[in-house]
Chain A
């Protein structure tokens, strides 16, 4: 961190300068540290629960529809590497293995730090307009390397042309009307849906992605590896199903 304090070299008035310097540094540490700590405290715990009225709307996209017994809600950002990791290691299998018993809702929370997250969310929502939301959701994550990261694969990409070309390929593969897909992506209706998801995310005190809720309770894994998180999430679902 570019942070250093030059100790006063002036001989004539060291004390006023030293006091001021220390003052500036201390105030900065208190403010930054305070914001970081309170922010940091809020992240993992956040609000532990959120009402289903906030988490799920009538028209929220459902990947699976297995009744009301267990509802999983995921707030996600299509370009977020952690979300792609969750998809590959945790949620894609859950969708398959638990699909007939749980309702899995996914909602948008594109972060500003991911330049292609918003276009990707628009693509998913536009596909939803042609009743192919789940197909596009899968295409986006299954082919994450084709659009979300650079060709070398080690950086978040900001190449929007490449991403849009990839979205078009996915759209063709899942049989969308491309003209309509393009119109819908740029439409107010899609923009409003994404904004509404973000607004609900804020009500639910979601600050990062992915954030998962099981029956309104936030899932906060303690595992270090995806293997552990995967097991914890499945245990959690089993417990909810057993109730």
Chain B
């Protein structure tokens, strides 16, 4: 397997999830960056022309126009996608550096932990707002949700396993069932969406 090839000297402290994390940063950071970028472009188009209908406004439920026009879309006073463009670009860069065999010190991992923890918290607040306050879903935003959760999850697992958080390796059970936990997490959110918009899905027929 190609995996054995990558287990050269530095990989000794790489942990079982090192490879996953590196590639997840590149792929997830890249997807998140594209989604945030598109949202920012749409937001600018909407500002320039209030009658502009964003490309992702498909119907009353899947509608980024109504989501983008809410106060929650600029939670910190600036458009949320700005945070996404900045944050995901950093994650993507970190992933590329890791693939290029940069082996960062502990503070670097703690910074990634802080960033992804903020990201996942913010995303869950946005999910809550989108479902129960705004009552509409924004497809690009959902892409951001979908990549932020694994970015946080695998950063946390990696940091637990490598002992960056507690000083010694921990979280073995979570590491062992890493993708099962992630799958449950996704299923829970999909179920919330399905239940919340049930009326709408049923009127489509």
Q: By the criterion of a CB under 8 Å from any partner CB, how many residues of chain A are at the interface?
A: 45
Which A residues touch B60, using CB under 8 A? 81, 113, 155-156
**Which residues, 1 to 45 on A, are CB-close (under 8 Å) to B?**
1-13, 16-18, 20-21, 23-25, 28, 32, 35-36, 39-40, 43-44
Which A residues touch B63, using CB under 8 A? 155
Q: By the criterion of a CB under 8 Å from any partner CB, how many residues of chain B are at the interface?
A: 46
**Which residues, 139 to 197 on B, are CB-close (under 8 Å) to A?**
142-143, 145-146, 149-150, 154, 175-180, 182-184, 186-187, 189-191, 194, 197
CA distance A99 to B60 in the complex (A): 33
Q: State whether A154 touches B202 (Cβ < 8 A).
A: no
Q: State whether B20 touches A17 (Cβ < 8 A).
A: no
Q: State whether B179 touches A208 (Cβ < 8 A).
A: no
Q: A242 at interface (Cβ–Cβ under 8 A)?
A: no
Which A residues touch B72, using CB under 8 A? none
Which A residues touch B178, using CB under 8 A? 6, 8-10, 17
Which A residues touch B177, using CB under 8 A? 16-17, 20
Q: B9 at interface (Cβ–Cβ under 8 A)?
A: no
Q: B200 at interface (Cβ–Cβ under 8 A)?
A: yes
Which A residues touch B186, using CB under 8 A? 2-4
> Assuming the A-B contacts A2-B146, A3-B146, A152-B51, are A113 and B205 also in contact, with contact meaning beta carbons closer than 8 angstroms in the complex?
no
Q: A111 at interface (Cβ–Cβ under 8 A)?
A: yes
A28 closest partner in B (C-beta): B187
Q: B201 at interface (Cβ–Cβ under 8 A)?
A: yes
Listed in ascending order, the chain A residues whose CB lies under 8 Å from chain B are 1-13, 16-18, 20-21, 23-25, 28, 32, 35-36, 39-40, 43-44, 80-82, 111-113, 115, 150, 152, 154-156, 158, 207-209
Listed in ascending order, the chain B residues whose CB lies under 8 Å from chain A are 3, 16-17, 19-20, 24, 50-51, 53, 57, 60-61, 63, 65-66, 135, 142-143, 145-146, 149-150, 154, 175-180, 182-184, 186-187, 189-191, 194, 197, 199-205
